[in-house]
Amino acid sequence: MSGPEMAWVPEPPAMTLGASRVELRVSCHGLLDRDTLTKPHPCVLLKLHSDEQWVEVERTEVLRSCSSPVFSRVLALEYFFEEKQPLQFHVFDAEDGATSPRNDTFLGSTECTLGQVVSQTKVTKPLLLKNGKNAGKSTITIVAEEVSGTNDYVQLTFRAHKLDNKDLFSKSDPFMEIYKTNGDQSDQLVWRTEVGAWGWGEGGRKGRAGETRSGVTSSLCLFKVVKNNLNPSWEPFRLSLHSLNLCKASLTLTAPPPLPSQFLVYDYDSSGKHDFIGEFTSTFQEMQEGTANPGQEMQWDCINPKYRDKKKNYKSSGTVVLAQCTVSHDFAINFDPENPECEEISGVITSYRRCLPQIQLYGPTNVAPIINRKYSVLLVLTDGVVSDMAETRAAIVRASRLPMSIIIVGVGNADFSDMRLLDGDDGPLRCPRGVPAARDIVQFVPFRDFKDAAPSALAKCVLAEVPRQVVEYYASQGISPGPPRSCTPATTPSPSL
C-alpha cells in the first residue's frame, strides 16, 4: 500500500473441504416507508439455519434514505451441494442506529435455500411482514455467483487529468465507477471511488445518454467525491482479481481472453442525476503490463461517445492515469504500511481487534514475503497450510544466518504436516537446492493441542526454543556474553518519626 488511507475489500473466508465459495449480491425494490417524511435507511441481515437454530452470518452495508437499494457488499457463504442450507433475509431500517430487525424497524423478510439461489442464479421474492402478509409491493432480489480460481488481490491507484467541466459556476466533482462483465453480458458494479467531501448520490448506473443501464435500480447512498477539481487523485483501493474478470482458468493458454472491465467517470450532482463525463475499458493484464516497471504509469483517453459522434474535432473528455497496479497477499494489521509496527503486546492485540472485523482470513498462505522482512522474533498465526512452501523453505534457510527466531502457531483443523517439516525437529531443514539451515530457528505449535490448557502452557511451548536459538546465533558470530551487570538495590527511605 502507498499514499493515503487504503480502502479495503474484505477477503473471503477459508473454505471447508468439499465446499465451494458462493457470493450473494442483494438488492431490494419498493421498501415500505416508516413515515411520510423520510425514506428508510435499509440494511439486509442474512441468517443461516445451523444446529437447529438461526445464526447471523453476514449483513450488508446501510444505505441512507433509500427505498430501492442496491447493496455493494458481497455476502460470502460456503456452499455444500449435498446439503440443504436454509437462508433468511431480514430487511430492517437502521435510521435510529438499530442493529437488528425489531418490531419498529422491520421492513420485511423472505426465506429460501442456498441451493435454490445457486441453481437459478437470480431469485426475486416478495418481502413478508411478521404476520405473513406481503410488505406492500416490496421485493428482494438475490444474485448468486459460485466463485473459483485465484484469491489474489490487486492494489490500484488512479488519477485523472483535464476532465470536462460539467458545472456552470464551479468545476466538476468527479468520481469513477468500475464494472465487470458477467458471463450473460450483464454489468456488475465492483467499485466506486471514494475521495474528498461527503455527498449524497444515486447508486445505479447511468448510460451514455443518461438512461439507467443493465436494469440496475437507482438508490441513494452515501459516498465521497473530489470537489471542484478537474485533475482528481482518487484514494488507492484494493480489489480481488475475480472482480476484474480474472480467475485461474483464464490464465491458461487454451482459455479465452478475460472480458475487459469498464471504467466510467461522472460529475457528482447533489440531486443524484450525475453528469456522465466519459469512459474507457481495460483488462487486468493490460494494466499490469502498463505499470510493470518502477515509476511506469498507464493512461487512457476518457471518451464520451455522444460527443465523439456529434463533435467533429472531439478528441477526449480528459485522461485517466493508472499510477499503481500491484498484486499483494499481505498487509499491515494496523493498516499503516508506512509504520506497520505495534508497540508492545497490547498494541498487537489492539491492532488485531481493529483489523479482524474488517477482513476475512483466506489463502494463499504465503510466508516467504513476511520472513524476508527480517523481524528479530517473527510470530506467524495461520489457519491454513503454507501455499509457497518452496519459497518459505528458502527464506528460512537464508534467515537462519540472521538474528531471527520464527514462531508459527497453527489455528484450526488444517493439515499442518508441512509446518512440522519447517520446525526442523526431525533433521535440519533444507532449501529446494539442498542447502541446509545454519541453525534451527522455527518453532511450530498447533493451537488445538492447547485449546483447553492454561494460557501459561501455550506460552511455555511457544517460547521454549527461543533462548537456545538466541545463544546459538551469538555463538556462531563469536560473540560472548558480557560481564554480569551489578544490580544496585533501591534504597528505602527511613520512616519519618
SS3 string, 39-75, reads CCCEEEEEEEEECCEEEEEEECCCCCCCCCCECCCCE
Secondary structure class of 3 (helix, strand, coil): coil
CA angle, 84 as apex, 79 and 89 as ends, to 5°? 75
Which single residue is written with the C-alpha cell 542447502? 435
CA distance 334 to 371: 18
CA distance 42 to 4: 30
Write the pLDDT tens digit of every residue in 382-410.
877 777 888 888 888 888 888 888 888 88
Find which of 136-145, 207-216, 228-237, 358-367 is predicted with most confidence, using mean pLDDT.
136-145
Kindly provide the b/e burial profile for residues 67-91, where b requires at least 16 CB atoms within 10 angstroms of the residue's own CB.
bbbbbbbbbbbbbeeeeebebebbb
Sign of torsion over alpha carbons 128, 131, 134, 135: negative
Q: Name residue 472's amino acid.
A: E
CA 299 to chain centre: 26
Q: Nine-digit cell at 65?
A: 434514505
CA distance 419 to 408: 8
- Domain ranges for the chain: 20-147, 153-328, 364-476
> Predicted confidence band at 279 (pLDDT cuts at 50, 70, 90)?
very high
CA distance 25 to 27: 7
Read off φ and ψ for residue 88, nearest 5 degrees: -125, 135
- The CATH number of 153-328, from 3.10.20.90, 3.30.470.20, 2.60.40.150, 1.10.40.60, is 2.60.40.150
The pLDDT of residue 348? 78
Write the pLDDT tens digit of every residue in 105-126.
899 999 999 999 999 989 999 9
Secondary structure class of 262 (helix, strand, coil): strand
> Predicted confidence band at 487 (pLDDT cuts at 50, 70, 90)?
low
Domain 20-147 in CATH: superfamily?
C2 domain (2.60.40.150)
CA atoms within 13 A on the CB side of 223: 28
Q: What is the mean pLDDT of the chain?
A: 77
**Bridge partners of 265?**
176, 278
Q: Do domains 20-147 and 153-328 have the same CATH topology?
A: yes
Please state whether 52 falls in left (phi above 0), alpha (psi between -120 and 50) or beta: left
pLDDT at 316 > cutoff 90: yes
Write the pLDDT tens digit of every residue in 217-243.
333 334 455 677 899 998 888 777 777
Question: Residues with Cβ < 8 Å from 165, sequence gap 6 or more?
Answer: 171, 172, 230
pLDDT at 33 > cutoff 50: yes
The length of the chain, given as a count of residues: 497
